[in-house]
C-alpha cells in the first residue's frame, strides 16, 4: 500500500504544479487471452468535470485511496 500512496502523491503533486485537469493513467501489469490487468492512478476530484468510461467486458476495481461511482446499463433479460 505504501508504494500506491507514494505514486498517487507524486501524481497529485504533478497535477497541482502544472494546473492540469484530473485524469486516469493506466499501466498494464499483465494480459492474456480475453483479460487485462492494469494499475490505474486517477487524479480527478470533486472539482473536475465528470466523465464516462465504457468497458466492453467485466471490470473489477480495488480502490486503495479515495472513492468513485460506478453505474451500468441494465442488459435486456433473455
C-alpha cell at 4: 500506491
Nearest to 9 by CA among 43, 48, 39, 44: 43
Model confidence over 17-71: pLDDT tens digits?
Answer: 988 888 888 889 998 888 888 888 888 888 888 777 777 777 777 777 777 777 6
| Owning domain of residue 42 | 1-78
Other C-beta atoms lying within 10 Å of the C-beta of residue 73:
6
pLDDT at 74 over 70: no
Count of the separate structural domains present in the chain = 1
Amino acid at each position: 500500500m505504501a508504494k500506491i500512496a507514494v505514486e498517487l502523491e507524486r501524481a497529485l503533486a504533478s497535477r497541482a504544479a502544472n494546473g492540469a485537469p484530473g485524469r486516469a493513467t493506466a499501466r498494464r501489469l499483465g494480459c492474456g487471452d480475453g483479460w487485462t490487468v492494469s494499475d490505474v492512478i486517477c487524479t480527478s476530484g470533486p472539482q473536475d468535470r465528470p466523465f464516462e468510461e465504457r468497458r466492453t467486458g467485466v471490470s473489477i476495481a480495488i480502490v486503495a485511496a479515495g472513492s468513485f461511482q460506478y453505474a451500468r446499463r441494465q442488459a435486456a433479460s433473455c
